[in-house]
Chains A and B, each alone.
Chain A
């Protein structure tokens, strides 16, 4: 449409050959990326004819810092156009938007750089221009407060932006990630959550080990060698995935086997097709059936891969410890399993996740316990990790119990964060997503809808940051007259990241028969404990081997 010849991913070195006049760099404003671009530009063959023109497009905002950097490298002048492309919120699914700003949490809580919040507010303004002004805004946390303030200010500064769109959303709930540091640290136990924990979902795609995906007989897979990882897209457009993604993994197997029976029954139908009309009908259904079959085959393979891991002894031990911490058992002393893991040199991130989890579930560790862990970690993984440990402390993930008071039990009890009788197959509570632990963030959303936050004032005060409510006036005529039994729609914005399990829990609430509220989710980034901790770690030089 725009006569784009070819698209390349950014990498250092010479730019690929292409017979074009214009080359556009489409980038996030990050200094590392600027270095790559500099390299690209400097290696461009000056002698070639025709000369190629360079342009640069920053997403979502033009960065003067980056331009300064390019200037220092002496290449700024090579760019004919330097523009911005204001893409704040990217749709990931029918009910999910993400800014994909992976460093948002780090910037907000470690560097006190709130630029990502500015972008979040901008994104929300755009969303309101499209879907109507959101009449009610609730929030909890410093960042939430900040975003709400910016939104109100932006609205005041652009009085013309008052739009005549009938509002889709009734409520906006802004939640700081640091209000609930616990949830991302725990291992997610939904199907999608586990795929993410084990293989890491990147922009709805996942790369899987190829062994279980042997090429099909029909020769369709002949060309992919089984040595390359299998790449799959995961979203609700796939019927089967939509059905199982948010289930507890223990409930996935039965769905898959039921599906398998239905599909094979459908294929059996062909024997019963007698008339031409019946055969024709059968044939017309074939593509759909085949797609269903290949989808089923894929998910059965993925489920097998996951099962291998979830049934391993170490997974079980790790989960047991997590669940002990979350239910408040032995959070105040050095944990044997963690010590063993350090001794066996398990991945550092795993250790940090567990230690942080313990710290959060105990409102901070006893100084002696904290010092012991720190010493073991530094001796085993290297002293340079002092820097990472300091970052974790600054973010509040790791701390010593200063006040001498452990608030977590009160929070746990009041918000019913730990449920002993969890039903994984037919859940009746959000706690199914972590097989017992109900994510705090989602509990806050649930309680806001019913009976309202007034009932939990005490606990809200124990959690960091202010909680607040704002109203935005709607022009008369746009005010919603609610039909009886009609659901309210709430947009929950997680500032600093959200996990797939939390999304699953919110979808579960949307689906509840008597829920009365549907949720749409927005976030700065989709995270899991590993990617989150990684974003807080100090970048170290690669090991010499």
Chain B
């Protein structure tokens, strides 16, 4: 087989398909060549991709244009690096904003802005001057290296070859000792790709317990294995490993992550239930518990609401058909939903807003905001009113908003509340300036007028008179105040 492989290599080397010879030179020279090639070919990519961008590409300017001549004069005064550059047909302007012509080593001479010719040519030019090119091209690998692919490479050589992207058979590392030396070499080489490759091999050929035990003292390799398991989604193996390492919180989170891939809600709920006992941090435990409770709730609400909607007996569902199911929605969205469809329900039912508020300890502020948005959407202004009305023990009512009335006004306005409703709340804004601003903005004339009256500001009031409609009730009101 090795023979065939060598033949094949021979074929490629001797054939005209030069583009595929990169695997020949083992050292960095090949990389230089590749970089150079990359850079040269990038130009094609850039050109190919977006012809609609031609408009802003300035390099197409003809010789003799203003910028060209400017550069021409500028570059002739600087050092060799630059003059080499100016011998190119045209230079795409580099840093006009950061001129610094005095400096000789500005990299912009070596690789300029990308579009079009000069940029990349200059990099390759720089290359050709370094002397690298002289011995970089068709350097053949010594014949010896073709010899035998399965010969006895030391772990070190094996790792080196793999670093260069060669295929190496790892099967000959049979003993545990050999395998570990190989792993250590890979780690020492720092190339994650090789480390992972060796780990794949070890994972396949070693018993879990052995592998885990050895990895405990090889942290770098361990991290790579965990990353690899996450990437490939080998959940079970990962969990075993984390459990072995006693990394309990990570184990719990990793397990919890799994729920995302479960589509069926019933199964997801069951799965989350199983997560509750996992060793999360104290706060996360509470969150996961809530997550489970919420989904459980949503399943109940969803099934009953879907039925209600189908039967068509409920007015609210007929009037406002549901846009999406409530399953897997965040808590606040669920609360909004429940304020929208189930506002009046008694606290005992699962779908009532007050029940949700209690179960999940939703803060007052959050609750009021959500309920307000939902009720305003339905234009249920009485409910809105009730939200902010508190009775004291004497039976007097008082308006109070935990979120500040300016926020209430904003939300109502966003839901197109009529001026009569709006101005009632604008009036309640405590800060005079904010109140005046909001009132003016939303044309709550009464509030503006009353505020100016209270401030005894005749000048502003007179000025405001021009803003209200001629002959309207507002104008009359202003006149009567001014006359008093």
Which residues does A use to contact B, with CB under 8 Å? 1-2, 4, 7, 29, 31, 55, 58, 61-65, 68-69, 81, 83-88, 90-95, 107, 111-118, 121-122, 125-126, 129-131, 146, 150, 158, 160-161, 163-165, 168, 204-205, 220, 224, 231-233, 235-239, 242-246, 284-285, 287-288, 291, 294-295, 298, 339-340, 343, 345, 371, 374-376, 378-384, 386-387, 390, 485-487, 489, 507, 510-511, 518, 520, 538, 540-541, 544-545
Given contacts A85-B34, A163-B130, A232-B53, contact A386 B97 (CB under 8 A): no
- Beyond A161-B28, A244-B97, list 17 extra A-B contacts (CB 8 Å): A64-B196, A65-B196, A65-B200, A81-B20, A118-B190, A126-B32, A129-B132, A158-B28, A236-B96, A237-B112, A288-B61, A339-B365, A374-B283, A379-B362, A380-B330, A386-B288, A545-B323
CA distance A423 to B413 in the complex (A): 39
Q: Are A91 and B123 in contact (CB-based, < 8 A)?
A: yes
Q: Are A343 and B257 in contact (CB-based, < 8 A)?
A: no
CA distance A411 to B330 in the complex (A): 39
CA distance A91 to B126 in the complex (A): 14
> Using Cβ atoms and an 8 Å threshold, which residues of chain A touch B28?
125-126, 129, 158, 161
Which one of B100-108, B144-152, B472-480 is at the A interface?
A: B100-108
> Using Cβ atoms and an 8 Å threshold, which residues of chain B touch A129?
28, 32, 130, 132
> Using Cβ atoms and an 8 Å threshold, which residues of chain A touch B66?
285, 288
Type the 1/0 row for B404-433, where 1 means its CB is closer than 8 Å to any CB of A: 000100000000000000000000000000
Q: Are B114 and A91 in contact (CB-based, < 8 A)?
A: yes
CA distance A150 to B98 in the complex (A): 34
CA distance A384 to B329 in the complex (A): 10
Name the residue on A nearest B98 (C-beta): A511
B345 at interface by CB-CB < 8 Å: no
> Using Cβ atoms and an 8 Å threshold, which residues of chain A touch B113?
93-94, 235-238
Q: Are B95 and A130 in contact (CB-based, < 8 A)?
A: no
CA distance A387 to B260 in the complex (A): 11
Which one of B222-230, B300-308, B347-355, B456-464 is at the A interface?
A: B222-230
> Using Cβ atoms and an 8 Å threshold, which residues of chain A touch B112?
93-94, 236-237
**What distance in Å separates the Cβ of A157 from its nearest Cβ neighbour in chain B?**
9
Of B22, B38, B97, B111, which one neighbours A83 at CB under 8 angstroms?
Answer: B22
Name the residue on B nearest A344 (C-beta): B369
Q: Are A165 and B131 in contact (CB-based, < 8 A)?
A: yes
Q: Are B260 and A231 in contact (CB-based, < 8 A)?
A: no
Given contacts A239-B96, A242-B96, A520-B107, contact A114 B192 (CB under 8 A): yes
Q: Can you give 23 A-B contacts (C-beta < 8 A)?
A: A2-B41, A31-B232, A64-B193, A64-B194, A87-B34, A91-B123, A94-B113, A112-B220, A118-B191, A158-B27, A232-B53, A236-B93, A237-B94, A242-B94, A245-B97, A288-B67, A291-B58, A345-B332, A376-B366, A485-B102, A507-B97, A511-B98, A518-B103
Q: Are A65 and B193 in contact (CB-based, < 8 A)?
A: yes
Q: Are B332 and A386 in contact (CB-based, < 8 A)?
A: no
Which of B192, B223, B224 is most buried by chain A, counting CB atoms within 10 A of its CB? B192
CA distance A541 to B262 in the complex (A): 10
Of A91, A518, A538, which one neighbours B39 at CB under 8 angstroms?
Answer: A91
Of A55, A68, A380, which one neighbours B331 at CB under 8 angstroms?
Answer: A380
> Using Cβ atoms and an 8 Å threshold, which residues of chain B touch A243?
96-97
CA distance A438 to B61 in the complex (A): 38
B158 at interface by CB-CB < 8 Å: no
Q: Are A86 and B97 in contact (CB-based, < 8 A)?
A: no
Name the residue on B nearest A545 (C-beta): B324
**What distance in Å separates the Cβ of B137 from its nearest Cβ neighbour in chain A?**
15
Name the residue on A nearest B231 (C-beta): A31
CA distance A218 to B365 in the complex (A): 58
Q: Are B232 and A239 in contact (CB-based, < 8 A)?
A: no
Name the residue on A nearest B290 (C-beta): A383
Given contacts A161-B28, A544-B328, contact A236 B227 (CB under 8 A): no
CA distance A357 to B45 in the complex (A): 39
Q: Are A68 and B114 in contact (CB-based, < 8 A)?
A: no
**What distance in Å separates the Cβ of B157 from its nearest Cβ neighbour in chain A?**
12
**What distance in Å separates the Cβ of A279 from its nearest Cβ neighbour in chain B?**
15
Name the residue on A nearest B410 (C-beta): A344
Name the residue on A nearest B192 (C-beta): A115
Q: Are B192 and A168 in contact (CB-based, < 8 A)?
A: no
> Using Cβ atoms and an 8 Å threshold, which residues of chain B touch A95?
95, 106-108
**What distance in Å separates the Cβ of A43 from its nearest Cβ neighbour in chain B?**
23
Name the residue on A nearest B257 (C-beta): A387
B52 at interface by CB-CB < 8 Å: yes
Type the 1/0 row for B107-144, where 1 means its CB is closer than 8 Å to any CB of A: 11011111110010001001100111000000000000
CA distance A540 to B258 in the complex (A): 11
Q: Are A83 and B39 in contact (CB-based, < 8 A)?
A: no
Q: Are A160 and B224 in contact (CB-based, < 8 A)?
A: no
CA distance A291 to B93 in the complex (A): 13
Q: Are B325 and A544 in contact (CB-based, < 8 A)?
A: yes
**What distance in Å separates the Cβ of A542 from its nearest Cβ neighbour in chain B?**
11
Q: Are B331 and A7 in contact (CB-based, < 8 A)?
A: no
**What distance in Å separates the Cβ of B256 from its nearest Cβ neighbour in chain A?**
7
Q: Are A87 and B67 in contact (CB-based, < 8 A)?
A: no
Name the residue on A nearest B249 (C-beta): A390
> Using Cβ atoms and an 8 Å threshold, which residues of chain A touch B104?
486
> Using Cβ atoms and an 8 Å threshold, which residues of chain B touch A2?
19, 41
**Considering the complex of A and B, which 6 residue pairs feature the smallest CB-CB distances, nearest first?**
A115-B192, A94-B108, A237-B113, A64-B197, A112-B223, A383-B291
CA distance A43 to B248 in the complex (A): 43
CA distance A494 to B86 in the complex (A): 32
Of A160, A161, A236, A379, which one neighbours B94 at CB under 8 angstroms?
Answer: A236
Q: Are A113 and B192 in contact (CB-based, < 8 A)?
A: yes
Of B65, B196, B288, which one neighbours A288 at CB under 8 angstroms?
Answer: B65
Q: Are A61 and B193 in contact (CB-based, < 8 A)?
A: yes
Of B50, B259, B288, B365, which one neighbours A343 at CB under 8 angstroms?
Answer: B365
Type the 1/0 row for B54-68, where 1 means its CB is closer than 8 Å to any CB of A: 011111111011110
> Using Cβ atoms and an 8 Å threshold, which residues of chain A touch B294?
383
> Using Cβ atoms and an 8 Å threshold, which residues of chain B touch A244?
97
Of B38, B55, B64, which one neighbours A85 at CB under 8 angstroms?
Answer: B38
CA distance A116 to B110 in the complex (A): 25
CA distance A204 to B56 in the complex (A): 13
> Using Cβ atoms and an 8 Å threshold, which residues of chain B touch A340?
407
B162 at interface by CB-CB < 8 Å: yes
> Using Cβ atoms and an 8 Å threshold, which residues of chain A touch B103?
486-487, 518
CA distance A100 to B67 in the complex (A): 32
> Using Cβ atoms and an 8 Å threshold, which residues of chain A touch B329?
382
B171 at interface by CB-CB < 8 Å: no
**What distance in Å separates the Cβ of A143 from its nearest Cβ neighbour in chain B?**
12
Given contacts A87-B34, A161-B27, contact A384 B260 (CB under 8 A): yes
Q: Are A118 and B93 in contact (CB-based, < 8 A)?
A: no
> Using Cβ atoms and an 8 Å threshold, which residues of chain B touch A285?
65-66
CA distance A294 to B107 in the complex (A): 28
> Using Cβ atoms and an 8 Å threshold, which residues of chain A touch B44?
1, 4
CA distance A510 to B45 in the complex (A): 31
B178 at interface by CB-CB < 8 Å: no
**What distance in Å separates the Cβ of A297 from its nearest Cβ neighbour in chain B?**
10
B215 at interface by CB-CB < 8 Å: no
Q: 8 Å CB contacts to A: which residues of B308-358? A: 323-325, 327-332
